[in-house]
Chains A and B, each alone.
Chain A
Amino acid sequence: MKNKYSIFSLARNALSYHQRWQTAWRSPEPKKQYDVIIIGGGGHGLATAYYLAKECGITNVAILEKSWIGGGNTGRNTTIVRSNYLWDESAAIYDHAMDLWSDLSQELNYNVMFSPRGLLHLAHSVHDMQEISRRGHSNHLNGIDAEFLNPEQIKKMLPFIELDCRYPVMGGILQKRGGTARHDAVAWGYARAADALGVDIIQNCEVTGFNIRDGAVCGVQTSRGQISAKKVGVVTAGHCSVLAEMAGFRLPIESFPLQAMVSEPVKPIVDCVAMSNGVHAYISQSDKGELVIGASSDTYTSYTQTGGFDVIEETIGAIVELYPLFSRMKMMRQWGGIVDVTVDRSPILSKTPVDNLFFNCGWGTGGFKATPGSGHVFAHSIANGEMHPIAAPFSIDRFHTGGLIDEGAAAAVAH
């Protein structure tokens, strides 16, 4: 890498007052033609481009981003990483990501700050207990770590939790390998590494249409002109339905606002990630010291990146109920993103009715954690023209066959 990052390069540059750092990625003019175009410069798109160049030998790749890279859900999520999913298909893709997460900083030569500080799901009812029991079993079978904790063990991890609340904490399931990462760094790290391998990252370039000949895509129309491509991958999260419509088909996806918030920064107090589906309270603490709190998605479809305050009220109620000491903490910022939700709350990684056009979307409320795995298998799928075995079950065909991978059905909560 032209400009390797390390403690030594940092020291060396400090001596020259940091005047000699190069740009993290270039800002090239789009070429006329690429082997692969990736639409969408979020984490998944950037990772796809990186693995295309790194592992598939395809370096004539462009990422077209309507705005700034990492600006969609990559830069708006609560940064939680885990892989303890119920179904084998989900476990495979999220745990594939987990394997990549652990070495990602070294892989990209960029500190993405992945910190497996432990991820705890709380159970508040007999039903919750049954759910985590079944999921824990399934995790064991898939080689995913899952440890059942009793309330006393939970209290040890979260000393300030109120176990005896309206819906008392009856137990929990811990994935020690789960944790958080720095979301922006993931986008920037992949961008910088992809760029170094020759990938063109083109920001402020909006795709306005597809060029399709004989049922196969051969290029895209953009706000910066026509660009031809042998293959195109669409990774545009909340706006994938819009892109699909441009390509002439419909996706079984609805887009909802999903909100989150942070508190003012304080000294370390929450060490792990604690999630509670039963009362809907997700909390962790960022390295900067903010409590990061995730809310549920709004109940109506929308493309506005805001959402209703009632959702925040409900989430805050749950947080105060479980962690009464946070009542005097102050909320500093509240925001929303647009999540693309499928009926089974599992993603779509798929070929499409248009040849050489691939879609990777529908990650709903849980896409960040999958970023490396999603990019990795999607890159291989595009390169080979056939879906990678881990990606194959997530084909769009499943909505026709009924072979759903239903992660959200029973609890119908964000995951």
Chain B
Amino acid sequence: MKQPNRLEHGGRIDRDRAIEMQFDGQTLSAFEGDTLASAMLANGLKIVARGFKYHRPRGVFSAGVEEPNALVHLRSGARHEPNARATVVEAYDGLQSTGQNAWPGVRFDISAVNQLLAPFIGAGFYYKTFMGPVKGTAFWMFCEKFIRRAAGMGRAQTVADPDEYEKVNAFCDVLVIGGGPAGLAAAIAAGQCGARVILLEQDACLGGSMLSLPVGGESDACLKAMEATLKGMDNVRILKRTTVFGAYDQDVYGAVERVWDHVEVPPAHQPRQRYWQIRTKQAVMATGAIERPLVFANNDRPGVMLANAVRSYVNRYAVLPGKKIVLATNNDSAYAVAADLVRAGAEVSLLDARVSVPAELFKPLEALGVQLYPGYGILAAKGSRGVSGAKIVLLDENGCARGPSKTIRCDLIAVSGGWTPVVHLWSQRGQKLQFDEQSASFLPLKSASSTLKTAGSANACGDLNQALLQGEVAGQEAAKAVTGVVGVQVNVPRLKEAIYADDWARDLLMIWSVTREDGSTDGKAFVDVQHDVALSDIDLAHREGFVSVEHLKRYTTTGMATDQGKLSNINALARMAQLQALSIPKVGTTTFRPPYTPIAIGAIAGREQGIHFRPTRLTPVHDWHVDNAAVMIEAGAWKRPWYYPEGGETINQAYVREAAHVRKHVGVVDASTLGKIAVQGPDAAEFLNRVYVNAWKKLKIGRLRYGVMLRDDGIVLDDGATARLGENDYFMTTTTANAAKILGYLEHLLQTAWTDLKVHVTSVSDQYAAFAVAGPSARDLLDAVCSGADLSNEALPNNQFVKATIAGVPVRINRMSYSGELAYEVYVASGYAHAVWKNLFKAGASFDIKPYGTESMGALRIEKGHVAGPEIDGRTTLGDLGLAGFASRVKPFSGSVLRHREKLDMASRPTLVGLEIDGDTGGMAGSLIYDQRAQQMGEEQGFLTSTTYSPALKKYISLALLRDGHERFGESVDIVNHVGDTVQTAKVVSPHFFDPEGARQNA
């Protein structure tokens, strides 16, 4: 395709590198340095999209991130991306794109019939209808299907994203946000002051607004000089294609770098995007400003564009989107645009809502042959599929037509309603904005923040030299605040003289909307182009009482599209202010929320996907389990051996065999996942005495004790054994699931409640492995493998420990039992764990040692009636679990007061019991318990917590929480399972099914 709108010369494109791209089946010729939008304009494409609601034809509107119209489907297949803004999509050879939200295509779109419905589907129409003739939701859900299909914008991809993303944490002294003139100056100044600087720019090139100025001018020389200076500074890091999307507490900034988004496929092993979390001491916000549109009838027609966007296309991309151009403005910034357009070969008429304009502005234009219309505005754009003319009128002070209109033929309308400084980050930090009358914009209230400075257009500063100066000062001050060094000489380039016409903040006339004498418009006049919100919608909302700015936003959906009101905000506020006869600041503004521009969800997830979604924790003997064919189970972040099948066993066969083996011979289970906390310090005993319900002050060195902790409201929190290793040195264990929670809880108590206690708590979970050796041959096995310790019942009774060595490795052996068998826990430093484990098995061969997994461990503990996670569920008390006897009656402890509240002490609370289930199928945890022969609906008597087959009892058993449980031993009950729709019978028994006297563990 020829490029009818490409200029012969100029631009910041690489004419030696011609490329071709596709849009909706058309080939676009372009050059490197183009964007998809500049290529569309160069190739003379007018309609590139359709409106959200009315499906009116839309063309490229802007040249930046604020683009409301030119949203496209980018790429295809797995790399398909909806809602890509063509104005910021960098051109590359072979780029594939299509129109979206239109069928069959954007040039002809069936849904354009919606325009006929326009009178009925104004703001909030859906709140007033679709309710249906009868009660219920059926009619609405029927209508909703069609509404949902009509809404939405692009089409989501349907397969997983093949690209990778990365996360980076970065730290600096001064973060400079924005690589325009103010940002570059700030980075140079801060860098020259000795600060470590990171400079972030969303564009692919540095320069910001300077890139839209004529090529080869003085500003180019200045930009080159700044870039050269920065290149020589190794304390300044520059990231391009990087958008700061959010500002968070404690001076944390989030940014996304589009590392390889400007090519079809990222190179191998390279991320598509990189998410930066940056912690800085100072930040300079040099984020620039976005030009505002004007509101008039049909202001959404293809060929209506922002004035300075047209200037960008001419100067940066060498594209002249129209030959006969009507330029409408209410401020100075369109004058330089007009001059550049004429020089590029266009015929220009300039309408200025202001009646009197300084000679410095209009004289040069007159000389260039620009037709000037002071006091005029555009009432309506003519043409349906593109601009063919502009209906212009003289305006009164409210923007209403005064006198008859006339039509100027043209093929492009360029508009400027002043500028909106980009203050999103400032606002996100919760900092105040104040309204500046001169530029009619909300500006940062400078004194408000000590760590965030602003410079350049974000501040509504004047010309280019002022932006450079503001940047320099902000950079210097930020650096000074960090280094404390004052009076460092900095050297930032400047222009010889400022260009008068570049001073955009001056003398703006607050007229944005142009209407007929009676306030109506000559067709839809859009305030929010992307969301199809017209002036008439704002008026309707006002009429219906949605006068709060947030109500207006939500009722009309102004500012809620993907551009989040970047273009529409002030224009909507101005209309509201007019309707309410208030000033704009009195109307207020809505809240700016992150992200500044939409960011890929994948970038925030980074590498934390798939198996890296959560870290996988492996015990030191993990490999042994895998080598020995263990089936593993997830336990939080841990992987634990679930069971070790032999010869094609099912899980049920395996766990029953393993549990039986432990009761007959000896088994070993890897208990390394237990939480282990070193509790150390002179007040450690006192601390334990406060957090555990039982007494701890008299525990001797060499002893250990089982303890239970309560939440401060008296509910059971966790349990475990703690050993006293030395005078001030205790070794606590917690359940696997609660390891982190308990450490946090202990820290919390020490740092807030008991700051006087001299205690340190340290997690040593990863430092030690733990193996439980259980079974009648446990002592014989350990005797065979250990040296340096007497393990006899006399020397090492329950609840004591000894130090010993296994294969030369120092170990600690706790005598304690979870399985109910004669059992020991072997603690060993993680690095030696594998060796010790292997030695146990080597020596154990003659004792018929077998490993056992969590499933059989569960079976063994259920047989013994020990409680675990399913019973300690955050709702049970000591009494419920039969642990009340552990609680001290003499000392206070955490939870000791509130645990005696009446409802927690009620005798009828469900308490822990055992169930012997009749028949040859097991119960399912969560099943409900009813009185026998009672109706099996309505209030249940209790529920099953943990169930298993008991090899020792040769029947299915379960732990359960049952009302008045202790008084019901011997009673028969029904177990009802609503999932499987089954009813079983069971006998209520003591939860201590097996060896209640503990003869085996004390053997």
> Residues on A close to B: CB < 8 A?
5-7, 9-11, 14-15, 17-19, 21-27, 67-71, 75, 88, 102-103, 105-106, 109-111, 113-117, 125-127, 130-131, 133-134, 136-137, 140-141, 148, 160, 162, 165-167, 182, 184-185, 188-189, 203, 263-269, 279, 285, 287-289, 304-306, 308-309, 312-313, 316-321, 324-335, 343, 398, 400-404, 406, 409-410, 412
Contact = CB atoms under 8 A, between A and B. Distances in A.
Given A10-B125, A102-B136, A166-B614, A21 B544 contact: yes
A94 to B, nearest CB: 17
Contacts of A182: 127
Contacts of B157: 325, 328
In this complex, the member of A23, A88, A264, A409 whose beta carbon has the largest number of chain B beta carbons within 10 angstroms is A264
A185 B127 contact: yes
B495 interface: no
A306 B248 contact: yes
26 contacts: A18-B536, A71-B548, A116-B137, A116-B141, A130-B925, A136-B926, A137-B943, A165-B610, A182-B127, A188-B555, A266-B155, A266-B156, A267-B149, A287-B148, A288-B151, A304-B430, A309-B248, A309-B277, A321-B610, A325-B161, A328-B81, A402-B713, A402-B901, A403-B903, A409-B715, A410-B875
Nearest to B540: A18
A166 B144 contact: no
In this complex, the member of A285, A330, A406 whose beta carbon has the largest number of chain B beta carbons within 10 angstroms is A330
A68 B940 contact: no
Given A287-B151, A327-B602, A332-B595, 9 more contacts: A24-B545, A102-B135, A137-B943, A166-B610, A189-B127, A267-B153, A268-B149, A289-B152, A313-B604
Given A5-B128, A166-B611, A309-B252, A316 B601 contact: yes
A130 B977 CA distance: 12
B131 interface: yes
Contact of B82 (A71, A264, A317, A318): A264
Q: Closest 10 A-B residue pairs measured CB to CB?
A: A289-B152, A409-B874, A402-B901, A327-B602, A23-B545, A133-B926, A330-B598, A327-B161, A134-B926, A403-B903
Interface in B515-557: 536, 540, 543-548, 550-551, 554-555, 557
A105 B598 CA distance: 34
B1003 interface: no
A12 B37 CA distance: 43
B609 A406 contact: no
Contacts of A14: 119-120, 122
B753 interface: no
A134 B156 CA distance: 37
Nearest to A402: B901
B544 A22 contact: yes
Nearest to B554: A184
A69 to B, nearest CB: 8
B130 A111 contact: yes
B395 interface: no
B903 A402 contact: yes
Contacts of A9: 128
B248 A308 contact: yes
A130 B870 contact: yes
Contact of B595 (A26, A165, A334): A334
Contacts of A148: 979
A240 B153 CA distance: 40
B151 A265 contact: yes
B452 to A, nearest CB: 15
Given A24-B544, A401-B902, A105 B140 contact: yes
Nearest to A318: B613
A130 B923 CA distance: 12
A269 B874 CA distance: 38
A111 B131 contact: yes
Contacts of A26: 545
Contact of B593 (A15, A309, A333): A333
B608 interface: yes
Contacts of A116: 137, 141
A361 to B, nearest CB: 19
A410 B159 CA distance: 36
A324 B136 contact: no
Contacts of A279: 613
Contacts of B160: 162, 324-325, 327
